[in-house]
Structure formats: structure tokens, C-alpha cells
Amino acid sequence: MFVTSPGTAVAHDRVPLTSRSDGDDMHKAATGRPARAARMLAALLLVGGWTLSGPAAAATVEQATPTASAHRAEAPEPPEAPEPPETDRPATESPAAEPAPAAAGEFRTSTGPLPGASAPPLEPVAPVAPEVPQRSQSAPSAAEERVQQQAPVLSIDKTVSPDPMIIGDEATYTITVTNSGDETAEDVVVTDTLDGNVTFVSSPGCTASGQTVTCGGPGTELAPGDSLTYEITVQVDPGVSDGTNIINQAGVDASNAQGAQTQEISQTQTQTDVEITKTGDPATVNPDGTITYTIVVTNNGPSEAVDVFVQDPTNGNLTTITGFPDQCPPSGLTISCNLGTLQPGESVELEVTVTVNSDVAEGTEILNCATVYTGSRETNTDNNQSCDTTTVGPPDGAEADLVVAKTGPATVNPGGTYTQTITVTNNGPDIAEDVTVEDVVDTDHAVVEELPDECEVVGSSLECSLGGLDAGESRTIEVVLRADADDEPGTIINNCAEASTTTPETTEENNAACVQTEVEGVTPTPTPTPTPDPTPTPDPTPTPDPTPTPDPTDSPSPDPTDDPTDDPTDPGYGGDGYDGYDGVGATLPVTGPGAAALGAVGAFVAVCGAVLRWSAVQQANGSRI
């Protein structure tokens, strides 16, 4: 409580009032609108958590100031209310004259008379510390709880089979999505973008729109630690070039997780299966009769077959070609047909007619084999040749069975040589007469370098005459060829050999054999690093003979003192000087030229003795002077 003037007091609970000397000013401040304004201000300060009385007010203001130190002290506890002082009020005074106690936080002023007037003093009101409002501790939201824990973590992986992808064939992509987090991923959706060189075929549980495949979607959940797998089957365009890159991109997203992406790049590979079949009609023909051969070439795929070529050599001793198909212009005894590119499943039929020569004996079998080649990689070459046999007149009863086997390297460098081996065996039971072998050379990509004596090159074929083969006998032919130096890596060189005999055969399906050789890239041979010749050890520089020390000039010498040392010139001094002086018993130290000679002893042992002897002589001469 503060006293403003005699007989007038102001009671407060938070803000102290200064005394006023002027009673009128005090009266105005305590009544009317100023008093209401003061009460409103006190109420506002109380709501804001301000403590306005004494030290508590200063501490509260410091805490509420935004610029206060970050390390604030805790608000001091409010002071205890002081005991109200005793008054001289008579005990018989009615308590009704006392004003009501001020409520907590109320700002009360006196409305008593001016100084000099008799009025009971105001009852002091003990200040009451207001409750400091506490910040509400609301429950964290669902989003805050999600931040505190780990969200779903999605990853995506993708593979393709087969790899490389076969041109024209189907391939399957396998997509695996995994949640490595600790919360279930919701509304998981996988989006896969296909390459323009493939066509969508199927995908269980997924939908396709153009080149985009979508799997999963709203309602698809993925628990922590679990995975989802989708398979997408596509077909590679048959016209794609060998070695083309197929790029596939896939991504996964979820409504409550970050997405992930992956990319798969695989190459394409050509694989074809070109097949040829040949039939002849009739099975038996008379001399001068006509045989019609039907040749069918089929690409079994799955890729395009490029540069398809058919060769059908005939035996001019037995038949004459009388009819060619449009794709096969006349070219001597060998029928050659360029068929170009065949799509998977495409077939071409060729028809050739020949006339049997009039001098062919009855019982002769006319064997004719056609071979197909392609510039594409083949998965099966066993069906690249087909043969047909026609009998002239009735057979004489003799039978043979020729079997042809052919081997060669799988690869060759451009311009490189390679050897092919042809083996012809007669399985009997009878001798095979007039056995011949014809080996058609792919002259566009190879030339013959070496061949045995029984063979010769006729046009683009190698023809070998083996004569008769007894039952169980075999003959081997080795041919060396050279690949064209301009061949591109990946070029396929085809080569087939066919054997025939004038003796009827029990079967002719094993009369031919083929090999394929692929041109590969040239591996540069590293240039060997030359080993330097060892540096020759220089011959040691010979040590020059020491320059003899010139005899000293005559100079007056003091008379020698009595020296017990013998005169070396005396004939009794160790012998006869240099003439017979052997250095034994010399007492002079080795200095000057003698030291130089001794220094050369270690390197040149051969001259050491001579140098030392010469040094000793010099010392002896010096001592005489």
C-alpha cells in the first residue's frame, strides 16, 4: 500500500501508484473514466501474464520480453501477502463502512474526501500473485507422429530374360518392388515405359496403353519387408538390327512414400533357322527322261534372315539343266538363287528341271543336293541342305553308303586363313565306285589358298575325285581358305561338302555336311617393348706410368751432421744401390710418387709390383741427393 496524502490511501495488488501532491489530481485519477481505464489496463496486463508488483513485476516483464536472454531464470514465486497493519479504528465501528476486499488483479483507488475531511481509512489489501498461464500441451497430429517414425522406403529392380533379347522373339521383364521401411506403403503403383522396338504382349494384373504398362494402383499395399513382383512379356521387332540397345524404364510410387526409378538396357541378337527341302519326281527315270526338282526354303525365325542364297550343283556327266526359276539365272552346272531377306515364317519355292543324259547306264542313281545360306546367325545348320536321289533304270543290286563329315574353326579374323577338313567314309556293304566330292566355296567371303592333289577349283566349287572306296574305308581332304580382308565382324561364311558315287546307296541323307565360320574383330597384337641391350662395361682406363720426378737442381746443402745412417751410395748399403739395390732395410717413408703408386695398387694389381719398385728407387735416389 502506498499513501498518497494524509488520510487517503491507495490499495493495489500489482501496480504501485506514486503519490500526488495535488489533491485535485488525485481525486481525478481515482474517479470517473480514468479509474475505469486504469482498471482495464491492469486487467489486460494480468491476462498477458505480467506481474506488476515489486520484484515480481520486473522478473515477469523480463520473461515476457522477446529480446530477453535465451537462458532465462525461472519466474520467482510471488511474495507472501503481508499482514495488514493494525489500525486505531474503534472496535465499535460498524464494519459496513469498510470497503470490500479487492479481488485478485483488481486495481482499486480511494474515493474518499479530500485532505482534511474525516473519513475512515481504506483497509489495506494484500497483493495476490496471479497464476502464470501455462502453454497448452496439445497432442501431436498424425503428420507429426509420421515424421517421428520412419516412413515406407520403396526400391525397384528389373531384369529381362533372355538377355541378349532375341530379335523377333518374345522376352519377359520381371519387376520387383520392395518396402524396406517400417510402415506399410499405400496405393503402390508401378509404371513401366517400353522401348519403341518392342511390342507389349501380356502382363497379369497390369494394363497397357501404348508403350506404358501400369501395375497396382489405389488400394495396393506393401507391408514392411515385403515385395511385389510383376512380369511383362514383350516381343522384339523382327526388323531390328543385330546389337541394338533396348532401353526400358520403370518406376514405383506410393501415396505415403517417396518413389523410386530403375532402368534396364539390353542388346538384341539375331537368331534364325533357315531350312531347305528338296524333292525329285519321278523316283525312277529312263535315259533322256526329265526330273523335276522342287526346292522349298523356309525361315523358321524368330529373326529376319538376310542375304539368303541357294546353291544346287548338278552332275554334268549325268544330267543337263533345262529349266531355271526366275530367281536363279543360268550359271553353269551350279544353280544359284539369290532370295534376299526372308521374314520369320516366310517360304520361297523354286522349281528346277533336268534331263538325264542318254548314255547313263541303267541302275545309276542321280544324287542332287541343294544348300541354303544366310548372312544371319543361325541356331541350326543341320537343315541347311537337302538331297534327292533318282534311279536310272533298275539297280544292279550293289549297294554302298557314303558318309560325309566336315569340320572347321568357328571364327576367323578378316583376311585370316583357316583350314577345313572333309572326311568321306563308305559304310558299305559294297565298294563305292567313282566317288566324287564337291565343296561349294562362298567366294563372296573366302578364297581357296591350298588344296590336295586330287582336288581342283571349278568356278566357285572345289571338286575332288577319290576313285573307289572299299567298305569301311575313309578318305580325308584338307582345304585351306582365306577370309576376305574387307569382311565385317559378324559375317557368316558358310561351306558345305557333298559326296556322290555311281554305286547305288542304301541312304543318301548323310552324303553332305556343312560348317559355319564367323568373321570376328581383329585383336591388335601388342607391340613388344624392346629389351635394351645391356650397356657394355667400359674397359678400365689404364693408369699412366707415373711421371718420373726430375732430379733436383744442385743447391748448396749444409754440411751433414754426423749421421750414423750409412751412405746409400756406399757399396755396403744394402747392396749396390739401384744396381742391385733391393730396398731391403730402407728406413725412409714412402711419400710423393710412391704414395700415388700405392693408391693404384687396389685397381691394377698387375702393375703394382713394378710401381712399388720404381717408387723405392726414386726414394733411394732422393736420399742420395
Question: What's the topology of domain 274-392?
Answer: Immunoglobulin-like (2.60.40)
Do residues 418 and 480 make contact, with C-beta atoms less than 8 angstroms apart? yes
Percentage of the chain modeled with pLDDT above 90: 44
The three grid cell numbers given for residue 168, joined into one nine-digit string = 523377333
Do residues 285 and 392 make contact, with C-beta atoms less than 8 angstroms apart? yes
Mean pLDDT over all residues of the chain? Answer: 75
**All CATH 2.60.40.740 domain ranges in the chain, comma separated:** 154-269
Sole residue written with cell 558315287: 501
Sole residue written with cell 498518497: 4
Domain at 402-519, CATH class = mainly beta
Burial class (CB in 10 A: 0-12, 13-18, 19+), 242: middle
Do residues 619 and 586 make contact, with C-beta atoms less than 8 angstroms apart? yes
Give residue 288's pLDDT band: very low, low, confident or very high (50, 70, 90).
confident
- Positive or negative, the Cα torsion across 203, 207, 212, 216? negative
Query: Is residue 619 within a helix (H) or strand (E), and if so which, with residue range?
Result: helix 608-624
The three grid cell numbers given for residue 246, joined into one nine-digit string = 533396348
CATH number of 154-269: 2.60.40.740
Q: Could you report how far apart the first and last alpha carbons of the chain are, in Å?
A: 137
Q: How far is the CA of 129 from the CAs of 51, 65, 232, in angstroms?
A: 7, 19, 76
Distance, in Å, from the CA atom of 381 to the CA atom of 513, rounded to the nearest integer, reads 9
pLDDT computed for residue 543 by the predictor = 58
Percentage of the chain modeled with pLDDT above 70: 59
pLDDT computed for residue 497 by the predictor = 92
Higher pLDDT, 148 or 421: 421
Distance, in Å, from the CA atom of 484 to the CA atom of 492, rounded to the nearest integer, reads 12
Q: How far is the CA of 270 from the CAs of 195, 198, 239, 491, 550, in angstroms?
A: 18, 15, 10, 12, 100
**All CATH 2.60.40.1510 domain ranges in the chain, comma separated:** 402-519
Span 128-187, pLDDT tens digits: 555 545 544 555 565 555 555 568 999 999 999 999 999 999 999 999 999 999 999 999
pLDDT computed for residue 59 by the predictor = 41
Asked if residue 568 has a cis previous peptide bond (ω within 30° of 0), the answer is no
pLDDT computed for residue 545 by the predictor = 59
The number of residues in the chain equals 625
Which backbone phi and psi does 599 adopt, to 5 degrees? -65, -25
pTM higher than 0.85, yes or no? Answer: no
Distance, in Å, from the CA atom of 591 to the CA atom of 612, rounded to the nearest integer, reads 11
Span 59-94, pLDDT tens digits: 444 443 443 333 343 444 544 545 544 444 444 444
How many CA atoms lie within 13 Å of 519's alpha carbon, on the beta-carbon side? Answer: 23
How many CA atoms lie within 13 Å of 486's alpha carbon, on the beta-carbon side? Answer: 3
pLDDT computed for residue 61 by the predictor = 40
Q: How far is the CA of 54 from the CAs of 2, 154, 455, 577, in angstroms?
A: 12, 62, 130, 132
